[in-house]
């Protein structure tokens, strides 16, 4: 129950952060933490719920957020073979990859859905997305250790 | 996994089930999270402005009183002209255009989340409160956009500044028609398909033509700021700025379509938008 409340509070805080910084996904650092905790059921529900939030509040047809989150899951799984998944260096690499994934996913989906995009803005937001993930990940990791110590990784 | 994802994506494009589910869950959750904070913020600002920050109120009152006098005169003149219009309509057998009802709504966010690729705002009203898909969104100054995705109590609006936005407009004085397109936030709008010999002028107001059925006729949209004549094109390029002050919006009005035969016409003629397009396609199939 404490875990569910923690994730609800995190989602609410992330939505407010998204209101303050338009075009940036603040749910992604939480998803990375869920992936690092290696609990498949929790990860499954986090991906479903976060995807619904992003897809619902977004302006494209259903797909980009699910693709982005599945991409994050694949990158974290692939990274486990080569790196220590909870290391900040890995998170820095991962955030760069997720920035690129964001740019690629939105560009492809806009093409498929015949939507005109402002490419320069998308590029800026992808860079900001990559820069925002590591500090947010650190912050959320600390918060999770403090408020949900039983759930967070050792 | 890729096949499953693509299968889900194409199935949703055909049916709109997942878009609908996301509008009823994710959009509503985001709205429920943002609305209480917005209420607190609004209350604090109102308290500050109404009870504490009273500098210049006297001067403002005097200015407004003078403005009321001027407007009263214009109102009397407009009433006379309205009566004349009614008499002329009756003489010529013209029917009056149907009246659109107005519902107020507050803006709770702008371009929320990474998937907000289009220029958009989020409203605190949904389709149960008069903010259904394709509802025109305006202010007293001009057109803002239209609802592209609606949950029961929260909705997302595509702004006229978005590059995917298209509005059929007329010059208010010259009556020259054209298609007004967005080019991005804080950028000018561009009026396309205006013939080289069309008599548009800088400063002229562009109003909705009502031809596409998405907006009622006669709403102010933008003011022309620049006209470019090309040597190689058959059309002039007209640049305009939105009248609604889109960067500073806090409240908007939703225009409710009149009931009756007009509503059916609008439902068929209105072009679909991203997010709403699949459900719309099913509804008209």
The ranges assigned to domains in chain B are: 1-92, 101-284
pLDDT-based confidence at residue A151 (cuts at 50, 70, 90): low
For chain B, which ranges sit under pLDDT 50? 262-285
Give the whole-angstrom CA distance, residue A118 versus residue B118. Answer: 9
Question: Per the CB < 8 Å rule, is A23 touching B1?
Answer: no
Question: Per the CB < 8 Å rule, is B116 touching A59?
Answer: yes
Give the whole-angstrom CA distance, residue B74 versus residue B272. Answer: 40
Which ipTM value was assigned to this complex?
Answer: 0.86
CATH match for B101-284 among 3.40.50.150, 3.10.129.10, 3.30.70.360, 2.40.10.350: 2.40.10.350
pLDDT at B280: 39
Give the whole-angstrom CA distance, residue B199 versus residue B178. Answer: 12
Nearest-5° Cα angle at A122, A79 to A66: 50
- Considering only CB atoms, which chain A residues are within 8 Å of B184? 118, 121
Beta bridge partners of B223: B205, B241
Give the whole-angstrom CA distance, residue A15 versus residue A27. Answer: 8
Which tops the pLDDT comparison, B145 or A153?
A: B145
Position A12 pLDDT exceeds 80? yes
pLDDT-based confidence at residue A41 (cuts at 50, 70, 90): very high
Question: Per the CB < 8 Å rule, is B275 touching A12?
Answer: no
Q: Is B220 helix (H, G, I), strand (E, B) or coil?
A: strand
- Considering only CB atoms, which chain B residues are within 8 Å of A25? 113-115
Long-range contacts at B162-166 (CB < 8 A, ≥ 24 apart): B162/A116, B162/B118, B162/B119, B162/B120, B163/A116, B163/A117, B163/A118, B163/B119, B164/A115, B164/A116, B164/B118, B164/B273, B164/B274, B165/B119, B166/B271
pLDDT at A153: 57
Residue whose C-alpha is closest to residue B141's, from B35, B249, B24: B249
Domain range annotation of chain A? 2-147
The tens digit of pLDDT for each residue in B63-78 reads 999 999 989 999 999 9
- Considering only CB atoms, which chain B residues are within 8 Å of A109? 117
Residue whose C-alpha is closest to residue A60's, from B167, B26, B168: B26
- Residue of chain A whose Cα is closest to the Cα of B28: A56
Question: Per the CB < 8 Å rule, is A15 touching B112?
Answer: yes
The tens digit of pLDDT for each residue in B29-51 reads 999 999 998 888 888 888 887 77
Residue whose C-alpha is closest to residue B164's, from B265, B244, B275: B275
Q: What's the predicted TM-score (pTM) here?
A: 0.81
Residue B120 host element (H or E): strand B120-123
What phi and psi values does residue B137 have, to the nearest 5 degrees?
A: -120, 125
């Amino acid at each position: 129950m404490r875990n569910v409340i923690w994730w609800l509070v995190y989602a609410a805080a992330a939505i407010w952060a998204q209101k303050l910084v338009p075009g940036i996904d603040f749910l992604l650092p939480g998803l990375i933490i869920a992936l690092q905790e290696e609990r498949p059921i929790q990860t499954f529900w986090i991906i479903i719920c976060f995807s619904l939030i992003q897809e619902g509040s977004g302006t494209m047809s259903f797909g980009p957020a699910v693709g982005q989150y599945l991409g994050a899951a694949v990158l974290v799984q692939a990274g486990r073979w080569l790196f220590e998944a909870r290391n900040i260096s890995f998170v820095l690499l991962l955030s760069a990859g997720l920035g690129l994934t964001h740019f690629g996913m939105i560009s492809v989906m806009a093409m498929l859905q015949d939507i005109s995009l402002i490419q320069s803005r998308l590029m800026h937001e992808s860079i900001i997305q990559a820069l925002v993930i590591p500090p947010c990940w650190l912050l959320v990791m600390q918060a999770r250790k403090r408020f949900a110590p039983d759930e967070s990784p050792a | 996994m890729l096949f499953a994802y693509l299968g889900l994506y194409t199935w949703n494009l055909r049916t709109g089930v997942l878009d609908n589910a996301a509008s009823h869950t994710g959009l509503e959750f985001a709205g429920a999270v943002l609305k209480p904070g917005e209420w607190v913020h609004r209350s604090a600002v109102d308290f500050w402005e109404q009870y504490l920050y009273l500098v210049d109120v006297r001067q403002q009152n005097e200015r407004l009183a003078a403005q009321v006098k001027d407007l009263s005169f214009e109102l009397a003149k407009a009433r006379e002209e309205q009566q004349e219009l009614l008499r002329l309509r009756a003489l010529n057998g013209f029917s009056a255009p149907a009246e659109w009802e107005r519902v107020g709504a507050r803006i709770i966010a702008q371009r929320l989340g990474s998937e907000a690729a289009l220029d958009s705002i989020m409203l605190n009203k949904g389709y149960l409160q008069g903010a259904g898909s394709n509802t025109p969104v305006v202010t007293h100054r001009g057109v803002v956009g239209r609802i592209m995705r609606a949950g029961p109590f929260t909705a997302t609006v595509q702004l006229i500044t978005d590059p995917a936005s298209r509005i059929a407009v007329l010059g208010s004085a010259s009556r020259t028609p054209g298609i007004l397109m967005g080019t991005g936030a804080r950028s000018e709008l561009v009026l396309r398909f205006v013939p080289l010999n069309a008599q548009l002028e800088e400063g002229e107001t562009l109003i909705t033509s009502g031809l596409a059925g998405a907006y009622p006729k006669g709403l102010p949209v933008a003011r022309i700021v620049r006209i470019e004549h090309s040597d190689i094109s058959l059309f002039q390029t007209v640049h305009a700025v939105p009248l609604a002050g889109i960067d500073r919006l806090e409240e908007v009005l939703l225009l409710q379509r009149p009931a009756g035969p007009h509503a059916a016409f609008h439902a068929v003629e209105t072009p679909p938008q991203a997010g709403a397009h699949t459900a719309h396609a099913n509804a008209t199939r």
